[in-house]
Amino acid sequence: MTFTIYPAIDMRGGKCVRLLQGDYSKETVYGDSPFEMAKSFVEQGAEWIHMVDLDGAKAGAPVNHSFVLQVARELPAKVQIGGGIRSAEDVEFYLSQGVDRVILGSAAINNPSFVKEMLARHGEKIAIGLDAKDGYVATEGWVETSTVKATVLGLELAEAGAKTFIFTDIATDGMLSGPNVGATAELASVTGASVIASGGVSSMVDLQVLREFAGRGVVGAIVGKAIYTNKISLADAIEEVK
């Protein structure tokens, strides 16, 4: 089974940043150009770029879309984008401009009928971002926690056609404390879908552990802070999981 490394570019105010556990007041800027960052990732062998519009997540509409489209058009990598995508027009805008996969997150809780409609219309080009706190789905850029269990919502959306989930345990995100492998594997098991792990990857060992679950539906990992702080070499990581 293939296992893919997704280097992450979180955008705020046109810059590449990382937040600690999704907290907008705990931001570190790692670069002034999302495009140049993506280009460096592609030069190190990345086949996918994971982009998040943090301003969009807060605004409820795309804000940093120009950078996403530049990467999709000018670099030989696939792009997935999340953050603030709440309408059919937003989804179709990105997909029509060369983006390979659109991530729907908060909408999965706030507007499940819309998400199911997008799954019916666009199939595998839609990924569901499930961000959980203590097993429950968090929404609105992690500001709110719902009363819905991630596994319950995951199963419902898998039955509606979801093929790919991106699972983040907020407790681990940006902490370099290791991913929540158990919860990630559980979501894959319950839904029968492909799950990309997100949050907490801090070392090659973390990637090796996740890679062991590739045959059970854990198909990749999003890596952010560990790359920016040089705890992981992206080129080495891509080679390691091949």
pTM of the model: 0.94
Catalytic hit among 53, 55, 90, 131? 131
Going by their DSSP bridges, the two strands 23-31 and 15-20 should be labelled as antiparallel
- pLDDT tens, residue by residue, 9-63: 999 999 999 988 888 899 999 999 999 999 999 999 999 999 999 999 889 999 9
Amino acid at 42: V
pLDDT tens digits for range 159-218: 999 999 999 988 777 677 889 999 999 999 999 999 999 989 999 999 999 999 999 999
- Encode burial over 41-76: b for 16+ CB neighbours within 10 A, e otherwise: bbebbbebbbbbbbbbbbebbbbbbebbbbbbeebe
3-state class (DSSP) for residue 126: strand
Q: What is the predicted pLDDT for the residue at 79?
A: 98
Is 134 catalytic? The answer is: no
> Angle at CA 131, nearest 5°, toward 84 and 25?
65
Whether 206 is a known active-site residue: answer no
When pLDDT is cut at 50, 70 and 90, the band that residue 237 belongs to is very high
Summarize pLDDT for 105-153 with one digit per residue, the tens.
Answer: 878 888 999 999 999 999 999 999 998 988 998 876 555 677 889 999 9
* Phi and psi, residue 25, nearest 5°: -85, -5
